[in-house]
């Protein structure tokens, strides 16, 4: 009879210490942003990652970067969080506003007292405006073909 060799059970390695985070979803038009806020004790460099890229490469203009940072500036907590975001759909401006919405919601989960400061400028409201669907018989959603009497 042959001896059957058995493998020794491999000890599972301890997972790295999981960081606590606050997660929220923000939307605008067809853009969806899922954001995680990681509280950090000191100031951090490269604090904002968007789809595993630095914010400055993903959102090249200062206008878009300022839209994202608005909730943090209003609350005066700019360097206190490391932010990670996954964004899909829509255009670049819509994505930045969806990310602002998500950051505001996550900050509310972190501290409920932030609500009154974020609600006043409208960061907690989802912007529901979307492109209207095209109707049959029309060229666009509402544009009709030129009418002629004869």
Residues 125-143 have a mean pLDDT of 93
* Residue-by-residue DSSP string for 61-129: SHHHHHHHHHHHHHHT-TTSEEEEEEEESS-HHHHHHHHHHHHHHHHHHH-GGGHHHHHTTTTTS-B--
Give the chain's mean pLDDT: 88
Least confident range from 4-8, 68-72, 122-126: namely 4-8
Taking the complete model, does pTM exceed 0.85, yes or no?
Answer: no
**Which pLDDT value is given to residue 41?**
76
Kindly list the structural domains of the chain, giving each domain's residue range(s) and its CATH number in brackets, ordered by start.
Answer: 22-119 (3.30.230.10)
pLDDT of res. 24: 96
pLDDT of residue 150: 83
pLDDT for 14 beyond 80: no
């Amino acid at each position: 009879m042959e001896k059957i060799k058995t493998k020794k059970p491999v000890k599972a390695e301890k997972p790295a210490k999981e960081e606590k985070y606050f997660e929220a979803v923000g939307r605008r038009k067809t853009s969806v942003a899922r954001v995680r806020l990681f509280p950090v004790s000191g100031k951090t460099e490269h604090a904002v990652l968007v789809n595993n890229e630095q914010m400055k490469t993903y959102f090249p203009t200062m206008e878009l970067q300022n839209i994202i940072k608005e909730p943090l500036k209003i609350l005066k907590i700019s360097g206190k969080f490391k932010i990670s975001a996954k964004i899909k759909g829509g255009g670049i401006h819509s994505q930045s506003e969806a990310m602002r919405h998500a950051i505001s919601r996550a900050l509310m989960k972190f501290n409920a007292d932030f609500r009154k400061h974020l609600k006043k400028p409208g960061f907690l409201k989802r912007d529901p405006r979307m492109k209207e669907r095209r109707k049959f018989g029309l060229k666009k959603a509402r544009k009709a073909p030129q009418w002629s009497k004869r």
